Structure 1
């Protein structure tokens, strides 16, 4: 087992999103050599807590199918669109790490991603991370991908990656699990339970979207750190006869943008799914890179150490320092690129 800390701090704590024009310009530079394809697959999937259900798997493939396959998964708000391409020019959720010259280079890998089952809000039943892992396996069968060069998962995606490694380990060469472990921490589950109560309270007032916006605002506070807020926002001020704190406009924006693209049912079921995470690390016998963030309040570093100690394959732990806490995988571009590059280079050497 290798333990090596990596320290990183972003220089621009106010940067909140990838510039769409930059993403399109980047896509134009490599689009002519990188194919992109979207598709849908209707399947019957046995769910752990709800029996067999009809589900739709919506996927996107970026890169040449002849290249080694890498499955990429993010948090519950992530989706199948990783990065801009000529076919799909809108910015993806992980532009920082996907693209020409980046660790997840679609000229070198066939990148596969999908929308989480339940993400469209039509599946109102308990969903387990193991169900998502089985859905990945079904999709790979349909795409005739027998084995993945790697599974790269962040947050909820890391949880699903661990489930996939446990349940379908023969189909995987390596797992990179970023900010996600084998179980949900009770403190993090308590945060999420309150968020779901906010949605329920909104529904009682016939204003479910307002409840969802409030839940998202609570979630943002759990993702980030007090240090970021101290550096970023001004003290409270009196405005129009009331006290308004510096972060309120930012939180309002986060809530509004989330409500515009998220179904309350999808949010509730995927939030619950995080809390159902339960995988025995002893069943995983393949190489795993575990990435922890020292400031992450949802996935404490101690849980990452516990995971690493119980895994049975070649394992390494990388610890990142970040002002952004749980959201570091979206913010600490250089630190994550170094870790991903190291992991993928190693698996290539082993394969060779």
Structure 2
């Protein structure tokens, strides 16, 4: 790995107006971009731009947070950047990831801007994070909190850069993709391909996202939310869940380039890692009913960690999306981990 530009260029650095703790300086938030030369596992050395956001006290410990392939550098709202973030309920005052206590770092995944049309490995993402830490002069992370794809990247980071990480929390993401989940993603990518053949990239991507939503959630949730009789609209039968799926597709295509979706979806299926190669303590969080990451795979990961892993199991109707919905329960786990009580010694 090599750095092209080691000086980060912050877009904005401003103090927050909030005062979550009396007598404590208000947290700050900054964004920046760093150009690097990234040696990639399947694509050679590529010039990429790492876009990050760092929120919190200047001298606090750093926690890196990474979500699914649609997550990005803006994890939560601040006075500097007030729009809601993808982990808004977890990175907040009074939470384990309170920016007044820890510094929370996130970035846009390599390939998320749609400009890199090449195979992207989770190991590439992990190496990109190491380069980002170099540029920001952050020697070691207190923790890496990963959800879904972010858990896969976190495992790679722990294996490839163990000296830079104290502990890892891996939620709904393990050492390899399940074949059932890979089949779901393959169909999603085929939906995009069919759209491209018809010069309808956006409808194809929207359909792929709708397929994905079915895999993220559970039949139990759909049974509770959409148990209404279908309607006949313009001579066609329309099911109760279709408005929800249409909205999910429209929201996704408004912010996601087609190439980014395809390459990051592929990246999940490229992911492979030997759990024995991870030398740091790992808290593995599994969700009963997760259709993409079965509980048995999380058990296999913990067994492969050989004493360095601890398994926590949640029951939730939200399936794979439990991390974003069961925020109180996830926060309790994170609080224990950051106190050093939630992982193997």
| TM-score strictly above 0.5 | yes
- The answer to whether the 8 A contact 1:149-1:347 is kept is no
Q: May I ask how many residue pairs the two structures share in their alignment?
A: 326
Quote how far apart the aligned CAs of 1:27 are.
7.7
- The answer to whether the 8 A contact 2:308-2:343 is kept is no
Aligned to 1:160: 153
Quote how far apart the aligned CAs of 1:98 are.
0.5
Of 73, 76, 90, the match for 2:69: 76
Superposed CA deviations along residues 259-305 of structure 1, whole A, max 9, x for unmatched, are 00000000000000000110110011211000000010000000000
Runs of at least 5 residues in structure 1 that lack an aligned partner in the other structure: 1-25
1: CA distance, partners of 2:17 / 2:259: 33
Aligned to 2:126: 133
- The answer to whether the 8 A contact 2:192-2:205 is kept is yes
* Map 1:25-36 → 2, pairs under 5 A: 28=18, 30=20, 33-36=26-29
What is the aligned-residue RMSD (CA, Å)?
1.8
**Partner SS, residue 275 of structure 1:** helix
Structure with bigger RCO (C-alpha 8 Å, 6+ apart): 1
Question: Is the alpha carbon distance of 1:130 and 1:291 closer, same or farther for their aligned partners in structure 2, counting shifts above 3 Å?
Answer: same
Question: Is the alpha carbon distance of 1:27 and 1:98 closer, same or farther for their aligned partners in structure 2, counting shifts above 3 Å?
Answer: farther
Quote how far apart the aligned CAs of 1:99 are.
1.2
**Partner SS, residue 299 of structure 1:** coil
1: CA distance, partners of 2:164 / 2:315: 32
Of 264, 282, 291, the match for 2:258: 264
Quote how far apart the aligned CAs of 1:127 are.
0.2
Question: Is the alpha carbon distance of 1:284 and 1:193 closer, same or farther for their aligned partners in structure 2, counting shifts above 3 Å?
Answer: same
Quote how far apart the aligned CAs of 1:107 are.
1.0
Superposed CA deviations along residues 75-105 of structure 1, whole A, max 9, x for unmatched, are 0000001111111010111011101101101
Quote how far apart the aligned CAs of 1:342 are.
1.0
Aligned to 1:255: 249
TM superposition score normalised by structure 2: 0.91
- The answer to whether the 8 A contact 1:43-1:55 is kept is yes
Of 55, 63, 66, the match for 1:62: 55
Aligned to 1:172: 165
Aligned to 1:184: 177
**Partner SS, residue 254 of structure 2:** helix
Of 267, 292, 308, the match for 2:302: 308
- The answer to whether the 8 A contact 2:17-2:26 is kept is no
Runs (4+) of structure 1 exceeding 4 A deviation are 26-32, 347-351
Quote how far apart the aligned CAs of 1:312 are.
3.6
Of 108, 126, 141, the match for 2:101: 108
- The answer to whether the 8 A contact 1:174-1:286 is kept is yes
Of 294, 297, 303, the match for 2:288: 294
Aligned to 2:89: 96
Aligned to 2:234: 240
Of 196, 199, 202, the match for 2:189: 196
Quote how far apart the aligned CAs of 1:65 are.
2.6
- The answer to whether the 8 A contact 1:284-1:312 is kept is no
1:327 aligns with 2:330: no
**Partner SS, residue 189 of structure 2:** helix
